Structure 1
């Protein structure tokens, strides 16, 4: 039986969550003041040793929700780690997410004597094996590499006291279920287990029944909901004009300071990145065929602002957590409606607004319809661009026209810019931003008030 924790969130601070002083000190140094809803709901149960099923997307603070209780458990139950031993294990679907989780443990546990390691595929295992040889308190791993090293007897899991399955739905999508089952069979059954998933399909519910014992269920932002502060638009365009439209969007509005562009294929991501780079739009691509070092380098450039555009596939972007993404652009619509929700959730973080633009060709109208059913809302059509395809827009899909409104028009909140008339060629007054004058950059300053732990 799942204990449902859909409690009314009240503003509190981390000290009220019964966290020890060294952890609270690290959070204070990072200027984290208020816990997010999932942290506020999950941490009190986890510090008591309960199993947990968490439904939360990237950006809700779920990493801290499990990292802080694990660090506290390790400190309060300190014991020597045996050679090749592991005390707590976190499984993640991608290398990028594993690295991010490892960094979070390092930051939150800076005042604790914690040994940790992060292991993943795509690199030589020698350094990872060396890190594991003396044993670790925290191990963050992707399933494939972990199972390889386990089969080589380079680590032991018989002393694991806490197990976390992060982004379990994506691990299932990527075919990791057999690996996860083998890994779990090597871990003691009297452990604490946490399972986090952005969605709760029947496969995840079944998995939770097998791996969790009397878990509490915490749900934040149900999977079918979209962030209210994201303005969503659809642009109808012929397939052969998509590249020109994307280039037009990025050239015409300087307020698009940091854009995440989604494609369905690795080849498409490379092609778009190469084209944009040729017209002096700083761009990097990230996908499964890239080496680990190349992917991490691209992410660092995007985070630091040295690269304005990051082109990504769905799997490669999962777990990508970058602040300040002003726009998400769906160059190609996803076939699965839930992936649309994951994609656009990369913007409008930490109380900021965000804009999601979807370029839809004739072959993607059915995907658009599924998306609208999933989010229970029709996307506004914006036809004020040089590549509008009226023949595609006129097909019956259930979307509504936004009339003469342009990208600066939202859903009736605050003042709006007047629409611009489409001129021959490129319209220099064209703006894809919300509540901003055309060409005016976004304020790049971070708002650190009430900063929340990720």
Structure 2
């Protein structure tokens, strides 16, 4: 029975996987530049770096840039660089966040007037907070302000942080009907989640997107590309099947450079926020579309009483020598650990004379210092083998990945019933409130928690220092999933290990997965039989406790559902 179920699962996965039929490679992908030709570069010798940025970078423990960071810097800021689109295929943990954050902060450091020039959009608050910390660590050194709009505080509080009224603060009266012309951005860079971004676009007077210069999206889903249009800067494209919608676990991050006023009013409801999550990208692009009527700067610049008349007229083309002109073109950047080569999908990005940088011939790249292992076990004994493995790791910081939020919850509950494990284990999944997830992640970063049991919500983008081990409790369905899970360790040149628990029927498919990443190095990791046997009685006891807990939770949910059902009928 189990074998037939496995066959059916393999059949479904094969149907979902992209066709192996070869597709033509776009001309610009035929002659890539190997990122490995760039060497680590000390900050002291990095060309064009603003001297004010060296101190905050050193405070972050950064004394040199990694090859991918050097490559992006050279092509966007360094000598001889000019406005062109850049595609980079780079492993997880190679430093892609700083790779785009540093050039943007460097470029914006020359700004004369504070306007909203950079917008970073991510799907989760935790990831948004992480990216915001990177910008906030370096931006103030050059006089830039970084804001956050992720729904942690009320929208009124966020507006107070993001928008300022200089006349009102100076005690000068203004015309209420002309309020949008009297408002200014209080931040240069904003990190936001999609729903909250749309909230500000639709309701916040003075929130500005008209003058976009860069659009950067770390970790995008190529399912989303049906909504793309010209003028996108994208970082970390991670999924590649075409389709119309965004998934809740997808990670997008966009950096948008802008300084103007746009105002749309839409009723604020949960339903519209869910719809806004789907539509934020085309909406942003609509508000930042190129003005085809002119290719020269608008003569209507600053008026004495307002910054609202500031205009930016965009040009087309990427002529050498046009960098830093006041009439910019939208620049697109794509950074990914698993970059698609399908022309039909890349064409939707509308890349303009792109430069392709890669870390090698393989599309899928694992961290250089990652060690991969597999553990063979029966399905019913997987929790027991996991406990034995955790015990053997001696409390090292570890992330355990499961295939669903339900599995995450039950596995974490089961592990905590092993009283003698003496390891602090917590759950991290979409079933939890944001405040709980943030608290858990903070404790994990600070070492108060040794093991985090997580769904794939943690696989992309999240960076936790000191994670020595990743364990795939459930085998990843795709090589992309394996890469992003494994990428939580062996980051920034550090060593790390990835263990995958496998049943016999999964071995062949797992081997084929790793071959896609040009690696056959995944030896069997054997646990001492005494270690496994010693935990077997506790395992049986923990299973009984888990059964009681699951039944209790199900009963509680039924009671809550019945209560709300009666309330509905009472109305």
Does structure 2 conserve the Cα–Cα contact (< 8 Å) formed by 1:229 and 1:354? yes
* CA deviation after TM superposition for structure 1 residue 311, in Å: 1.1
Give the structure 2 partner of residue 63 of structure 1: 97
Which segment drifts farther, 151-160 or 259-268? 151-160
Q: CA RMSD in A?
A: 2.8
1:179 corresponds, among 280, 291, 298, to 280
- d(CA) in 2 for partners of 1:151, 1:370: 48
Give the structure 2 partner of residue 403 of structure 1: none
- 1:164 equivalenced with 2:216 (yes/no): yes
- 1:25 equivalenced with 2:61 (yes/no): no
* CA deviation after TM superposition for structure 1 residue 342, in Å: 1.4
Give the structure 1 partner of residue 412 of structure 2: 273
Cα deviation 1:306-346 (Å, max 9, x = unaligned):
00001111133321101211111000011112110111122
Paired residue secondary structure (2:128): helix
TM-score (norm 2): 0.62
- Uncovered stretches (5+) of structure 1, i.e. residues with no partner: 387-421, 428-454
Give the structure 2 partner of residue 115 of structure 1: 145
- Residues 319 and 89 (structure 1 numbering): CA distance in 2 closer, same or farther, change over 3 Å? same
- d(CA) in 1 for partners of 2:344, 2:34: 18
- 1:129 equivalenced with 2:159 (yes/no): yes
Paired residue secondary structure (2:488): coil
- 1:6 equivalenced with 2:146 (yes/no): no
- d(CA) in 2 for partners of 1:21, 1:295: 37
2:106 corresponds, among 72, 88, 99, to 72
- d(CA) in 2 for partners of 1:115, 1:11: 29
Does structure 2 conserve the Cα–Cα contact (< 8 Å) formed by 1:333 and 1:367? no
* CA deviation after TM superposition for structure 1 residue 44, in Å: 1.9
List aligned pairs for 1:386-405, cutoff 5 A. Answer: 386=529
TM-score (norm 1): 0.77
Give the structure 2 partner of residue 395 of structure 1: none
- Residues 180 and 54 (structure 1 numbering): CA distance in 2 closer, same or farther, change over 3 Å? farther
Does structure 2 conserve the Cα–Cα contact (< 8 Å) formed by 1:46 and 1:66? no
Does structure 2 conserve the Cα–Cα contact (< 8 Å) formed by 1:223 and 1:341? no
Give the structure 2 partner of residue 440 of structure 1: none
Cα deviation 1:132-188 (Å, max 9, x = unaligned):
223221112233332233233452211232221111238845447753233222224
- Residues 4 and 228 (structure 1 numbering): CA distance in 2 closer, same or farther, change over 3 Å? closer
- 1:305 equivalenced with 2:439 (yes/no): no
Give the structure 2 partner of residue 91 of structure 1: 121
- d(CA) in 2 for partners of 1:68, 1:147: 26
Aligned length: 387
Q: Which has the higher contact order (CA 8 A, sep 6+)?
A: 1
Give the structure 1 partner of residue 513 of structure 2: 371
List aligned pairs for 1:295-444, cutoff 5 A. Answer: 295-361=437-503, 364-365=506-507, 367-378=509-520, 379-386=522-529, 425-426=533-534
- d(CA) in 2 for partners of 1:105, 1:208: 30
- d(CA) in 1 for partners of 2:343, 2:152: 27
Give the structure 1 partner of residue 349 of structure 2: 210
- d(CA) in 2 for partners of 1:143, 1:274: 32
- Uncovered stretches (5+) of structure 2, i.e. residues with no partner: 1-26, 165-184, 225-238, 240-245, 248-276, 291-328, 536-571
- d(CA) in 2 for partners of 1:251, 1:424: 10
- d(CA) in 2 for partners of 1:423, 1:285: 25
Paired residue secondary structure (2:142): coil
Paired residue secondary structure (1:355): strand
- Residues 315 and 41 (structure 1 numbering): CA distance in 2 closer, same or farther, change over 3 Å? same
- d(CA) in 2 for partners of 1:140, 1:207: 26
2:366 corresponds, among 226, 231, 241, to 226
- d(CA) in 1 for partners of 2:156, 2:91: 33
